[in-house]
């Protein structure tokens, strides 16, 4: 049985992990016979968004780990405790938290930097030859993790694709129900809610992503 480290970036599409993507990722792992442990950075998130209005919540702050614990039903550990040797693969659901709390792509675009603890862990998986799955907007970090020429997808968003290419990646177009595999780099990506118009569409693509990650493990 493969064991997968799942990295959550908070709770909620606009400032944390996309909840549907996170839950579907865990469901697909279980359905395909894998076990998992959730982790999240123990740090303040970039900002807090009111998910009803879509506007920033002025004067409010939240912790990424504490918020992510809502999705994981409390069964979550600080990112700093994750060890490459304990797992067979790494999986990162999307949501703006991936672009705000794991890196700063949401504000810096192609000049982004990746949060150091996450970058060290992800690069550790890559160096160990263990597969990595990135979902939704998280593939913007693919080249930073696996190096120049890493092939990945966010679907067909031209601006994000251009940024991925500018950062050294190679963007591949992909329908929502599929994933794209860079077998050499052991990188698997899927668009999910970069394209999905329904939970079912996101589920199909995430299921394909998880299947391909486990096949490489």
- Kindly report the number of other CB atoms within 10 A of residue 51's CB atom: 15
- Kindly give the residue spans of alpha helices, DSSP state H, lying in the chain: 19-31, 64-71, 96-100, 105-108, 116-127, 142-146, 158-166, 199-216
Residue spans per domain, the chain: 3-216
For residue 56, pLDDT beyond 80: no
- Tell me the fold of 3-216: Rossmann fold (3.40.50)
The answer to whether residue 136 is catalytic is: yes
What is the C-alpha to C-alpha distance for residues 211 and 214, in angstroms, rounded to an integer?
Answer: 5
- Kindly report the number of other CB atoms within 10 A of residue 50's CB atom: 14
Of 136, 146, 152, 174, catalytic = 136
For residue 140, pLDDT beyond 80: yes
For 57-91, write each residue's pLDDT tens digit. Answer: 888 889 999 999 999 999 999 999 999 999 999 99
pLDDT at 47: 78
């Amino acid at each position: 049985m493969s064991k997968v480290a799942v990295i959550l970036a908070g709770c909620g599409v606009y400032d944390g992990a996309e909840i549907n993507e996170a839950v579907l990722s865990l469901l697909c792992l279980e359905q395909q016979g894998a076990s998992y442990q959730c982790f999240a950075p123990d740090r303040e998130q970039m900002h807090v968004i009111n998910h009803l209005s879509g506007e920033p919540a002025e004067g409010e702050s939240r912790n990424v780990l504490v918020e992510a614990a809502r999705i994981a039903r409390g069964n979550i550990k600080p990112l700093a405790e994750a060890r490459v040797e304990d797992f067979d693969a790494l999986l990162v659901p999307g949501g703006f938290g991936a672009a705000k709390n794991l890196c700063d792509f949401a504000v810096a675009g192609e000049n982004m930097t990746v949060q150091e603890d996450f970058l060290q862990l992800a690069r550790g998986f890559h160096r160990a030859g263990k597969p990595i799955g990135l979902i939704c907007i998280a593939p913007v970090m693919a080249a930073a993790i696996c190096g120049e020429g890493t092939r990945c997808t966010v679907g067909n968003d031209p601006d994000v694709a251009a940024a991925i290419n500018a950062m050294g990646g190679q963007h591949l177009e992909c329908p929502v129900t599929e994933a794209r595999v860079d077998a050499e780099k052991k990188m698997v990506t899927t668009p999910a809610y970069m394209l999905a118009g329904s939970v079912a569409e996101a589920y199909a693509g995430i299921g394909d992503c998880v299947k391909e990650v486990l096949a490489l493990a």
